[in-house]
Chains A and B, each alone.
Chain A
Amino acid sequence: MASIIISSDSSLTAARVADTIVDKAGFSIVNRGILPEVAERYKTGEDLLSKALDSPSGFLAMSPKIRQRYMAYIQAVTLEKLLPDNVVCFGLGAHLYAKGVSHFLKVRILTQPEQLVKELHPAGPVPAHKVSKMIARHEKDRTRWSRDVYGRDETNANLYDLVISLNQIEEKEAVKIITKTAANRQFVPMTYSLNCVKEFILASQVRAKLIERFPECRVRADGENMVIHIQALKRNQKKYASLVKEVAGTVPGVKHVEVHVITDFIGQAVESSR
């Protein structure tokens, strides 16, 4: 059966819906419970991973590059957990990076405004005139976050197979719709879609190894072959290409590495102006 990836404007709603799917339809769950494993594997702090997922973007916030690095670590482990089917996943940004896999049913759930306000402001009631402002700000923060890290707007309905508004549909009905859709034949895992996941896993593992040294790196897997793009100054290109090959080659499952080095024109200009 399909795996279900849930995104919502409310993390509590996403968690509740996911838990109900697990209870009613026998799926297993992938959520932030994996963060200790991510932290251990990539020798980083769990708090930093949570911050990368939650804290809004902004002038004084975690820089997009640092956030992308932590998200690369989270992505590598999350995708591994998504390899078996019958999984429901939320809270790890998977709706933004698990792309093009036919057996991933991507769902966006829009929670009721009053529920969202309670979550955003647990301390107590919010004056009516501030409610819409608070929700708009929350949406703006999340949109900016997804654009900063993945260059995509997570509120865009085109990212999803199913968008459900809990303003009109009860939560238990939403769960029924999701599980019924997941049982449709077009979401059945097949050799092609499973191979897509395997390639994503391999590419993500390689990127996670490279991203600290090469934050701009782009990695694509074609079976066991990796195609990697990095940026470097002209004088470093040979050296970095062989370093990338060496590092990528240490990831289990990688057979061949092809490195394309793009000249870092900004760095080059800075260097020649010195």
Chain B
Amino acid sequence: MSHLEVLLLDDEPIVGKRLKPALAKVGCEVEVFQDPVLALKRIDEKDFDVVVTDISMAEVDGMQVLEHVVAKNNRTKVIMITGFAMMSLAREAMEKGAFDFIAKPFKPDDLRLIIARAAEALGKPIDFEINDNG
């Protein structure tokens, strides 16, 4: 089984606390950040397979993180998560190169499914059964 290098960025500590073990279960090596500035610094240092980022954050928002990641390495799959989902935001994220966009709250399995799709797209499949036709 391949393992994926994942950076998870959300200014709410509970999100990282909850999702890190959930993603570790499917073979992801997860680095969690609450501060987007520190996350961007880390992205500059290391090429991640997947970046999962919240959108609404102080200082630097998720769209800026997305643009930064795409400019640095467009192989990295960026997954946007937000509690304020709406059509215009979703379209903007996809246009800027997001791999997927999901509204909070979601179940850990929902994110694992997206990560599994990202892993497939990267040619590094992980051990998670994709049985959702969406």
A159-193: CB near B (< 8 Å → 1, else 0) gives 00000000000000000000000001111111111
Q: Does B61 contact A (CB under 8 A)?
A: no
Stretch at the interface among B17-25, B30-38, B40-48, B86-94: B86-94
Asked whether any CB of chain B lies closer than 8 Å to the CB of A195, the reply is yes
* Residue ID in chain B nearest A189 by CB atoms: B134
- How many Å lie between the Cα of A186 and that of B85 in the bound state? 14
B81-134 interface (Cβ within 8 A of A): 85-87, 90-92, 94-95, 97-98, 100-103, 110, 113-114, 134
A residues near B134, Cβ cutoff 8 Å: 83, 189, 191, 194-195, 198
> Any chain B CB within 8 A of the CB of A261?
no
Q: Give complex CA distance A220, B90 in Å.
A: 20
- Asked if A102 and B87 make an inter-chain contact with CB atoms under 8 angstroms apart, the answer reads yes
Verify B95–A186 contact, CB threshold 8 A.
yes
Whether a CB of chain B sits under 8 angstroms from the CB of A100 is: yes
Tell me if A101 counts as interface (CB < 8 A to partner B): yes
| List of B residues within 8 angstroms of A193 by Cβ | 87, 90, 101
Of all chain A residues, which has the CB nearest B105? Answer: A223
The smallest C-beta distance from B131 to any residue of chain A, in angstroms, reads 15
Partner of A192, one of B90, B95, B97, B113: B90
> Once the chains bind, are B92 and A192 in contact (CB under 8 Å)?
no
Interface size class of A (residues with CB under 8 A): 10 to 19
Determine the distance from Cα of A191 to Cα of B102 in the docked complex, in whole angstroms.
6
Residues of chain A with a CB closer than 8 A to B94's CB? 102, 185-188, 190
Contact of A190 (CB < 8 Å), options: B86, B100, B113? B100
Contacts of A189 in B (CB 8 A): 134
Count residues of chain B with CB under 8 A from any CB of chain A: 18
Q: For residues 178 through 217 of chain A, which have their beta carbon under 8 Å from a beta carbon of chain B? A: 184-195, 198
Among residues of A, the one whose C-beta sits closest to the C-beta of B107 is A223
Interface residues of B in 52-94 (CB under 8 A from A): 85-87, 90-92, 94
With a cutoff of 8 Å between Cβ atoms, the chain B residues found around residue A191 in the complex are 100-102, 110, 113-114, 134
What's the least CB distance linking B111 to chain A, in Å?
A: 9
Q: Cβ of A102 and Cβ of B91 under 8 Å apart? A: yes
Q: Is B87 a contact of A100 with CB atoms below 8 Å? A: yes
* Nearest-Cβ distance from residue B33 to partner chain A, whole angstroms: 22
Q: A186-B94, A198-B134 are in contact. Are A100 and B102 (CB under 8 A)?
A: no
Binary contact readout A93-114 vs B (1 if CB under 8 angstroms, 0 otherwise): 0000000111000000000000
Q: Which of B91, B92, B98, B101 counts the most A-chain CB atoms under 10 A from its CB? A: B91
Contacts of B113 in A (CB 8 A): 191
With both chains docked as a complex, state the minimum distance between the C-beta of B108 and any C-beta of chain A, in angstroms: 14
Between-chain CB contacts (< 8 Å), 7 pairs: A101-B87, A102-B91, A190-B100, A191-B100, A191-B134, A194-B134, A195-B103
A interface residues, Cβ below 8 angstroms from B: 83, 100-102, 184-195, 198
For the A-B complex with A102-B91, A186-B95, A193-B90 known, give 18 more contacts whose Cβ atoms are closer than 8 Å: A83-B134, A185-B95, A185-B97, A186-B92, A186-B94, A190-B90, A190-B100, A190-B102, A191-B100, A191-B102, A191-B113, A191-B114, A192-B90, A192-B102, A192-B103, A193-B101, A195-B102, A195-B103
Interface residues of B, Cβ cutoff 8 Å to A: 85-87, 90-92, 94-95, 97-98, 100-103, 110, 113-114, 134
- 4 closest Cβ pairs, A-B complex: A186-B91, A186-B95, A194-B134, A102-B90
